[in-house]
Amino acid sequence: GENVEQHPSTLSVQEGDSAVIKCTYSDSASNYFPWYKQELGKGPQLIIDIRSNVGEKKDQRIAVTLNKTAKHFSLHITETQPEDSAVYFCAAPLGGKLIFGQGTELSVKP
């Protein structure tokens, strides 16, 4: 069926290391892939997104890569800091609606 799979479900890194979260989607027609960061007790906030006409997009320490052939996209966070600790969600449009992955709980240890 239509879904978005996200891995890993939890990720623990040391401060300064990189973190990578991966998502796969099923609808080859999907053309927009946002990533959200959710801090405890708050609503998700958009941190970066990518459209299908590009393969990579960067914003300071955050980057997203897209492989349309393989139908997967990844979030890369470099030089992680304790304030990066949160739950991260990927999403993809499927059937006219935005479908979210199950989330990755990132923990950055000082």
The residue ranges that bind other proteins (CB under 8 A) are: 6, 31-32, 34, 36, 41-46, 49, 51, 89, 91, 93, 96-98, 100-103, 105
Distance in angstroms (rounded) separating the CA atoms of residues 42 and 39: 6
Pick 88 or 108: Cβ nearer other proteins: 88
> How many Cβ atoms from other residues are within 10 Å of residue 43's Cβ?
7
Instruction: Pull the structure tokens for residue 85.
Output: 């600790």
**Shortest distance (Å) from residue 33 CB to other proteins:** 10
Specify the residue, 78 or 94, whose C-beta has the smaller distance to other proteins: 94
* 97, 103, 106 from 40: Cα distances, Å: 25, 13, 12
Q: How far is the CB of 102 from other proteins (least distance, A)?
A: 4
